[in-house]
Chain A
Amino acid sequence: MSNSQVGGVYQQIINDVIAASRVDFEEGGIDEAVLEQLKKGWQKKLSQQQLAVFPWDPKPDPPPAPTATAPAPQSIPGPSLPLHAANGNGYAQPQQPASQAVPMPMGQPTSDARIKTEPAVKIEPGMEGNQAPQPISQGDMNNIAQQRVIAQLQNQYGDRAAASINKLREQPGGGVAQPQNQQRMPNPSLPQVYPAQYQNNPQQQYRPNTLHNPAAHQQQQQRAAMANGQRPPHSQVDGASEDDDHVGILLHQARNGETTEVGRVEIDRMLHAQITARAKAMEGGGLMLPLKRTNKGKVVPYHKSVSNDGPSQFDGPDDDLKDEDIAGSDEDAINSDLDDPDDNVEDNEDDEEGGQIMLCMYDKVQRVKNKWKCVLKDGVLNVNGKDYVFHKATGEYEW
């Protein structure tokens, strides 16, 4: 079969070209390393297309390194263990329970310490007495906060987070705990309670407000509360957490009840979108701007960041508007589309074959009425993502 020949044939072609080009490279004063680079790049590009089995490709895939086993013993002991997880190793243990535990707003605090449940979030003010309250000092907070963020980073991004984790550790007191946290700490309306066993809990619910800069903080708090459709006194899902100064990660609940964890960057983005949206709404106030523009300006940026993951629990009141407005924003992007159709038309001629092409020499092309007969030679053929080579080919077709 000629596909099995392709690897060897291509190998030979590459070697021939590289050998012939060596002289040209020397004459041009180009380092031989570049020639080697050319060969490697060429082979790599061919391998990527998976046209055939190439001799330079490694035969079997190396078995994946068993990374998960090493850190496991560390994570099992639970929260009593300091949570700077082993660097570079995924700390995947709590992820699974976490997503199950959080969606039920009034879920009983489980005794399994590994679960991310955060009782403080869910307790109604009247029930606080049931827990053993333990106020946490500022210093502890920062420390815990840092650990939580590290654990979370590790959880979510695994190895890739190593760099940012290191950076975090270098910052004394944790770079994450920002001034607003301290600001919010002494909030008198709700005593900050932390059951002792949860002090080291890696992930906590995290209100977006706590990340915002102090200047706009008060306003932002109110606006966000409005925007999220939360009336702090009786919101069960996340009302209490409004006043929590947990530093951790926001839990993002989609309409279907699925919870996903949202990283700091995403939170920042969401906040930013909310603030800009709010600012715009205030600015125009719906009074000074034409009706069309007020609607657009207000809502479109507001949902932008969230739209990828579907509706979130934080934008309840505006859910109805959302889809229409997003559709509207897509239509606005028509300018960029205007150029595309032209490109597509030009591409079509080549795309029609979908890269299925035979390049060869012909010895004979004969036609009798509508019957054609061709004798071809020395061809390369690309069909269905595979390459074939042939020395001689005969084709018969009817027109």
Chain B
Amino acid sequence: MATGASNFYELYRRSSIGGALTDTLDDLITQNNIDPQLAMKVLANFDRAIAEVLQDKVRSRLTFKASLDTYRFCDEVWTFQLKNVQFKMENGGALVTADRVKIVSCTAKPTGAAA
């Protein structure tokens, strides 16, 4: 299944862990420790690793309610801008609220990630 990391979304690069990786890679490139091609490979590895780990290791569930500000569906990517969001974590019961949250969501169906 690991034919190539290109089967995986680059979506998660925008997350905090992806951003931290990108920043670190940038630093290394600036210091001439690695070249950009290698950094791209590392990011591709990240795309696969985070998809697999989220799929296999994470078991927690989440429900949330909100009012929808804007929605967009383009190239099979849903984007929602939510207002007054209430998240409820299931096994902790913790309630988290936020004024504004943006959701970027890719379709789960045709990915190679499921394999």
Contacts and interface: CB of A to CB of B under 8 A. Distances in A.
B66 A397 contact: yes
A56 to B, nearest CB: 13
A395 B85 CA distance: 10
A398 B107 CA distance: 21
B92 to A, nearest CB: 3
Contacts of B21: 17, 42
B20 A359 contact: no
Contact of B42 (A3, A38, A392): A38
Contact of A389 (B51, B58, B94, B104): B58
A365 B76 CA distance: 11
Interface stretch (A24-32, A113-121, A260-268): A24-32
A390 B61 contact: yes
Interface string B70-107: 01010000101110010101011110101111111111
A13 B50 contact: yes
Contact of A356 (B98, B106, B108): B98
A44 B6 CA distance: 28
Interface in B33-75: 33-35, 37-38, 41-42, 45-46, 48-55, 57-68, 71, 73
A395 B66 contact: yes
A390 B102 contact: no
Contact of A392 (B12, B61, B82): B61
A41 to B, nearest CB: 4
B25 to A, nearest CB: 7
Contacts of B50: 13, 380
Contacts of A8: 57
A358 interface: yes
A20 interface: yes
Given A25-B38, A357-B101, A2 B62 contact: yes
Contact of A361 (B33, B98, B107): B107
Interface residues of B, number: 69
A322 interface: no
A38 B27 CA distance: 9
B68 A399 contact: yes
Contact of B12 (A4, A355, A359, A376): A359
Contact of B64 (A361, A395, A398): A395
B89 A1 contact: yes
A170 B54 CA distance: 61
A194 interface: no
A356 to B, nearest CB: 5
Contacts of B99: 356
A157 interface: no
Nearest to A364: B108
Contacts of A383: 85, 87, 96, 98, 101
Nearest to B100: A353
Contacts of B14: 357, 359
Contacts of B15: 357, 359, 380, 382, 387
Contacts of A13: 17, 46, 49-50, 53
A305 interface: no
Given A13-B49, A362-B78, A396-B65, A389 B60 contact: yes
B54 A380 contact: yes
Contact of B106 (A357, A362, A399): A362
B54 A378 contact: yes
Interface in A1-46: 1-5, 8-10, 12-14, 16-17, 20-21, 24-25, 28, 30, 34, 37-38, 41-42, 45-46
A389 B53 CA distance: 10
A215 to B, nearest CB: 46
Nearest to A376: B105
Contacts of A384: 96, 98
A280 B43 CA distance: 58
14 contacts: A1-B94, A2-B89, A9-B58, A16-B52, A28-B34, A359-B14, A359-B105, A361-B105, A363-B108, A365-B73, A378-B51, A388-B96, A389-B54, A397-B80
Interface of B: 9, 11-12, 14-17, 20-21, 23-25, 27-28, 33-35, 37-38, 41-42, 45-46, 48-55, 57-68, 71, 73, 78, 80-82, 85, 87, 89, 91-94, 96, 98-108, 111
Q: Which 5 A-B pairs have the closest CB atoms?
A: A1-B92, A361-B108, A16-B49, A45-B20, A2-B60
